[in-house]
Amino acid sequence: MKKLKHSILLFLIMMIFWILFTSTDIQELIIGVITSLIIVSMMNKLQPVLGDVKLNPKSIIYSIIYIFVFLKELIKSNVDVALRVINPKLPINPGIVKVKTKLKSPLGRAILANSITLTPGTLTVEMKEEYFYIHWIDVTSENIEGATKSIVSNFEKYLEVIFG
């Protein structure tokens, strides 16, 4: 059952991207379906990549919300770093902080680590179990709870619903 869920989810994701990048012409759709089915059948032999994704209405809604939350954090951090570059009087207090995640899913943790890294001013240096080591451009809190709240909590509450 889990393999079937994984295959259907992978097929749907591939078809969505196929339609976004091509057109809704019937020939294009047929080629997209055939290509997606071939790839899904080849991927079936591998361990499910999307096996941790919960497939229910709440997780789908949270996935959409997560995209907007990530974009908001991306814009905020871009503006922050740009202001620090333009105005050298703004403080820069770089350092590596330890944060803790509640996420159990390896895929959820990977997405969290990548989301942190993709926002300017932070870089995931290492992941060890539930702890991440983050290089932060302006360390405002050195304790685990404070750093986790500043860096991780905005992403984690949505990823927890999507991945568990």
Q: Please give the average per-residue pLDDT across 137-144, as a whole number.
A: 83
What are the structural domain ranges in the chain?
A: 2-43, 57-163
Please identify which residue in the block is written with the tokens 């997405």: 111
What is the DSSP code (8-state) at residue 48? P
**What's the pTM value of the predicted model, to 2 decimals?**
0.72
pLDDT at residue 50, as a whole number: 57
Helix (H) or strand (E) holding 54: none
Could you write out the DSSP letters of every residue in 80-147? Answer: HHHHHHH-TTS--B-EEEEEE-----HHHHHHHHHHHHHSTTEEEEEEETTEEEEEESB----SHHHH
Mean pLDDT over the full length of the chain: 85
What's the token pair of residue 146? Answer: 């404070």
Q: What is the per-residue pLDDT for 46?
A: 62
Dihedral (CA of 35, 40, 43, 44) sign = negative
| The two three-digit tokens of residue 149, written as one number | 């709240």
Give the Cβ contact number of residue 62 at 10 Å: 19
pLDDT one-digit tens code per residue, 50-106: 556 666 788 888 888 999 999 999 999 999 999 988 988 888 889 999 899 998 888
pLDDT at 6 over 80: no
Question: Residue 7 is encoded by which pair of tokens?
Answer: 């295959």
pLDDT band at 1 (very low <50, low <70, confident <90, very high): low
